[in-house]
Structure 1
Amino acid sequence: MGDIQARHMILEFLRQHTLAVIATSSRDGRPEAAAIDFSVRDDLAIVFDTFEHTRKFANLSDQSHVALVIGWDNGITIQYEGEAAKVSADDLERYQEAHIKSVPAEREFVEKGAVVFRVEPRWIRYSDYTRTPPDVIELRF
């Protein structure tokens, strides 16, 4: 499968989901995992929001590396590693609008001041365990 075809298949899978588990780590290396609502952009960047009082926000302020797991039902999953950064003030309105369009329940959080983050992918692994042998696709960025 070609890289463009693999990216399209991964994008379509991600667009079928809005819930992920994100893993971050604190300054002293303690891990933290949380369920988040997310949306995905055409370039495979993940968008999510969180409040400043959360552990994940504190962790992201110290360490931008994150890992996510998306889709654990029906035998297909994506592991996703990347770098998270706050969306800039110049891009914030555009990102909020697209994020809310993809995940309408996020409107309440955005309106209450949740901080919007963008995760740039560094590594994505798509695994389909419904097949024998499993289909596994890895992308590196």
Structure 2
Amino acid sequence: MTDPMTRAQFVAFVRAAGQGVVATVDVRGNPEAALVGLAVTDEAEVIFDSLTETRKVRNIRAHPRIALVVGWDSGVSVQVEGAADVVSGAERDRYGEIYLSQFPGARALADEFSIVRVVPHWLRYYDARPGSALVVESECW
């Protein structure tokens, strides 16, 4: 395996997991991590929603770099680093609808929620299943 996974494999993996841990830092460099529901576009942009007044949204506005961990139950996980932004206007509607298509009934487009888009730049595929023991890192597509 030269690449950890193709774009299509990443999209399928995130959709199957449906959740992950996002890690951000505040203006003083203090870390914050949270479990969130994750949706993903066909182009591998990761989307999550959050109440606008949360630390993670404030942190992303101050420092738009983010790390994610997706999957762990099966022994396979993917770590991602990338650029995050809180989308607004027509983009908020577009990404919010994508999120809602994967999480029907979510309140992502309610006024008190923000939609965050993450564009992955780096990926680590980690397979810890018995007999597998594979770790592969690469820049993203």
Which amino acid in the other structure matches residue 8 of structure 1? A
Query: Structure 1 vs Structure 2: percent identity of aligned residues?
Result: 34
* Alpha-carbon displacement from aligned partner over 1:97-122 (angstroms, at most 9, x marks no partner): 1110111242x242243111110101
In structure 1, the residue matched to 2:38 is 38
Q: Determine the structure 2 residue equivalent to 1:123.
A: 122
Q: How many residues are matched?
A: 140
1:66-85 aligned at under 5 Å gives the runs: 66-85=66-85
Give the alignment's TM-score, normalised by structure 1. 0.87
Q: Is the 8 A contact 1:71 1:78 kept in 2?
A: yes
CA distance in 2, matches of 1:31, 1:121: 19
C-alpha distance in 2 between matches for 1:89 and 1:31:
29
Runs of 4+ residues deviating >4 angstroms: none
Query: What's 2:62 paired with?
Result: 62
Partner of 2:109: 110
CA distance in 2, matches of 1:133, 1:92: 40
Gap runs ≥5 in structure 1:
none
Give me the whole-angstrom Cα distance separating, in 2, the residues matched to 1:131 and 1:11.
Answer: 25
Give the AA of the match of 2:71.
G
2:2, 2:136 within 8 Å by CA — same for their partners in 1? Answer: no
Secondary structure of the residue aligned to 1:13 is helix
CA RMSD, aligned part only?
2.0
Cα distance change on mapping 1:134 and 1:8 into 2, 3 Å: farther
- 8 Å Cα contact 1:83/1:121 also seen in 2: yes
1:67: how far off? 0.5
Comparing both structures, which one devotes a greater share of its residues to helix? 1
Q: Secondary structure at the match of 2:109?
A: helix
